[in-house]
Amino acid sequence: MFEAPDLKRARTAARKALEERSAGDDKWSLGVLKPLTPKAPGTHRYSVIYAEWVDSDVQFERRDVHVVEVWAADAQDARRLSTVEIQDVEGYRPAWRVRSVVRVAGKA
C-alpha cells in the first residue's frame, strides 16, 4: 500500500514497486489499483449493476439484483473492483453477472 497525489503518480509508484519486487521475474504483474480514498484525483464514481437469469414458465428473464458503486480509474477497473465487493454482499450467488458499468455523472 502506498500514497500518491493522483492516479498517474500512483501508477508510476506501483510500477516501480513491481520492478523492485519482481527483479526480472515475469511471474509478477501489476493488478488493479484500488483507490482507498473516495474522489481520489484521476478516479471517478461508477455504478456497476449485477443481474441474474431467472427461469419463468415461458423463458429465462434477466433480473437486476444488486448495484455496487466504486471509485475507479475507468470502467474496466470499476468492473474488476466490483467483483471483489459483490462477493461480500449477503445473498451473493456466483451466477450473478455484470449487466452494466456506468460512470456516474455530476458532482459526487
The pLDDT score that the predictor gives to residue 108 is 47
Laid out side by side, the sheet with 44-55 consists of: 60-72, 44-55, 97-103
Domain annotation covers residue 89: yes
The pLDDT score that the predictor gives to residue 107 is 55
The pLDDT score that the predictor gives to residue 75 is 95
* pLDDT tens, the chain, 108 aa long: 777 888 888 888 888 888 888 877 777 777 777 887 888 888 999 999 999 999 888 898 999 999 999 999 999 999 999 999 999 999 999 999 999 999 998 654
The answer to whether the predicted template modeling score (pTM) of the entire model surpasses 0.85 is no
Amino acid at the residue 9 = R
Closest CA relative to residue 45, chosen from 70, 68, 66: 70
Domain annotation covers residue 108: no
CATH number of the CATH domain containing 76: 3.10.20
Give me Rg for the CA atoms of the chain: 17
The pLDDT score that the predictor gives to residue 10 is 85
Closest CA relative to residue 98, chosen from 74, 64, 73: 64
Domain annotation covers residue 40: yes
73 neighbors 43 (Cβ within 8 angstroms): yes
State the residue range of the domain holding 8.
1-31
The pLDDT score that the predictor gives to residue 74 is 92
